[in-house]
Structure 1
Amino acid sequence: MGQLNRAYTVSQVNSYIGNMFATDFALSGITIKGEISNLKYHTSGHIYFTLKDTASQISGVMFVRDRAGLQFKLEDGMSVLCTGSVGVYERGGTYQIYAKSFRSDGVGDLYIRFEQLKKELAEMGMFDPMYKKPIPKYARNIGIVTAKTGAAVRDIVQIAKRRNPYVNLTLYPAQVQGDGAVQSIIRGIKTLDLMGMDVIIVGRGGGSIEDLWAFNEQAVAQAIFDADTPIISAVGHETDTTIADYVADLRAPTPSAGAELAVFDYSKFEDDISGYKAALESVLYEHVQDSRQKLSMYKLKLNQLNPKYILNEYHKKEILSKNELTRLMQNKLVFCRERLRDYDELKTLMTDMLHLTKNHLRDYDGMPSIMKQSLEKARHKLMIKTERLEAVSPLRKLSGGYGFIRDDEGKRVDSVKKLKKGDLISTTLKDGTLKSRIEDINFGG
């Protein structure tokens, strides 16, 4: 710097110190371990930060030209290994580290990238259940996006044919690892989506996080999200989880499990159909029986309202009434005949009594006159009553040449208007009954 009494400008001093930092080999490619704080992503594209530990701190910057090597997003509180060069910011008179790259401290860079993308896509709503499309229960056309060789495609084909030999499988042979894998997987998804598959299985066999990384890229996640066809993600082993698993409509722990979820079991399908058929037949049988019962009931109601049925019922009642009337008339006739016999017996008894009385009167001529008068008066009354009984006796009328006429249904005939030519009639006389057929009818007196 020269003589001690010489004065230097601030710029000269800061420039001198900057040259010292620049020529120091240890500071030109140093890696510093620390925790990020005061992080700021500037609109210019530069990243400003502070690295600190429990005792000290150092400012830092990563210029936009160096961000291409940053594989994950920096966050406050993140423990990192920052590689770059320590230099002087001459305008501010401070020194800082000019970062070229970052690595996670204790956690892999890929894991950090995975968690950051997972958080970002979740905030975008790409994992929301409302966007999940249902997997068809009976898919027949199934697309597969995976490598054309390997255990994954063999397992999927084997399980699919075992469960349902009639299912149609369409393979898009994609590159699932290394450079170009992302675009290959995206082309496979878009191609099968346009072919109208019922469901698409996207996946591969197990491997390290580096091997599976193509399924953790945002572009693949976006292709799965945008597809119209339901997609099953079947990547790696059961313990492996990728971004594709979160975006897909359904996650399968393995490719084999993906085939189980996509392909319906045909034998179980046949059993289900048989069960549905039996249940349907049972329901139909019950419905038919119920309909038949209702039909019979409706027929009965219609018959009851049918004028012909009503007339038949009235005709039946008429026949019953006629039969009942005939029975009553026959009973009445029997009763009258019995009464006639009683009248005859009474008449005979009265006649005998009159003869007896006359004989007694002859025998008792010497009877006092008052007794004779009483007996004569009693005899006179008895004769009057006897005459009255004979006057109302049906047999007396029948004895006079009259007859009791009934039609072929047993009804009493009291007018010729109730008869017509050819009708059968019964005429009851005092000593029997005649059966006759009407040959002619004359109206008048």
Structure 2
Amino acid sequence: MAGRVNVYSVSQVSAYIKNMFAQDYALNRISVKGEISNLKYHSSGHIYFTLKDRGAQISCVMFASWRAGLGFRMEDGQQVVASGSVEVYEKYGGYQLYARSIELAGAGDLYAKYEKLKRDLEAEGLFDRAHKKPIPRYARTVGIVTADTGAAIHDIMRIASRRNPYVQLILCPAKVQGEGAAESIVRGIRRLDAMGLDILIVGRGGGSFEDLFCFSEEAVVRAVYAAKTPIISAVGHDVDYPISDFAADLRAATPSDAAELAVYDVNLLESQIAGAGERLNLAIDGVLKAKRHALRQYALALHGHSPARELNSRRQRLADLADRMEAGLYRKISGKKDLLGQRRAALSRGIRMLFKERRQRLAVLAGKLDGRSPLKKVSGGFGFVTDDRGQGLTSIFDALPGEPVHIRISDGRIDARVTGTEPDGTAESAAGAGKRGTAESAAGAGKRGITGIPAGAGKDREEDHE
């Protein structure tokens, strides 16, 4: 069985390591050179920052009680020498530099130049947002000013190929560090700007403040500001801020970020187009559905007010009126028929009563007439005498001797001629006789007879008379 292993707590281990750091003479009196980043002035008066170089970084703190010896305002990007001790912070299990004094390093003059140029150009208005040009969202051509062998161009090409292989990249190689770098960058910006591209990316990968200072040269900053093509500045890492960043239309933390900003994602665009197409189709379907519904409503409303429907309604109404009129006429005619029947019946009764009354009256008159009828008297042995004009003779004075007379008896007529007359002795007859006496009367004829006319002659005269 293996020997027993000692087990320690975390606090014990941290305390042991802290004690080791405290006993190390070099760590208690040490000066560290590096670039300031992640700088923070705390409200308590303490200053927290990080010192870094290309290979590593270390956390640092300067307490408020030690700031009396600090002769400048610390800012990110400054190269400084921080002197103090490296100690363990047990709570988080890490170490940090407790700086008692901080001085600008050899780049202090360069940084002072940086600060002065930045203030001058800012006062001139080169950094105003009003001068910023918008970055095209769907660029088709992208110019790049950087070194052709650095990591920056490879990162940009890789990301652009992944996002949109249809975008054309045009590289203008430039020196991005050391002597002549500023002039090379300016030439690249002007050459690509004259080509009328959509976007320019100007930058390089990370480096020290001195390595990146060419992008803070006045000529480069003014070339960025004067370009007509929108420029994305992509120099170093997120903590690096060359002056060209402030003059550019857009700042990217790294060249890779610049490629993300300049080259739109065609797959995302296609997805957005597809989504927009689906939404458009849904919207169109919704509009069509609404329009179809409205059309059906309009059709129903139009059908309700259509001429054919109105005509049918009028026809139906006319048919109803015709039926009502026919029914009314039928009732009226029926009533008139009933009234006519009643009046006809009343008229028939009246006529029958009138006929009956007239028959009765006629019977009475006929009886009276029959009682006075010459024919009836003739049938009893009497005759009816008329002159030649058919006038009845009622007096002997109506017939003169020699005049023809006609005697109607029951079975015929006798034609005769007056041969003489004899009054019956009445006063009227005597008076008449005095006036109308004939020669025969004067001769004293005792009796006057009527000479008969031959039967044949009488018959002929009867036929002629008839």
Task: From the CA coordinates, give the structure whose radius of gyration is larger.
Answer: 2
Q: TM-score, normalized by length of structure 2?
A: 0.47
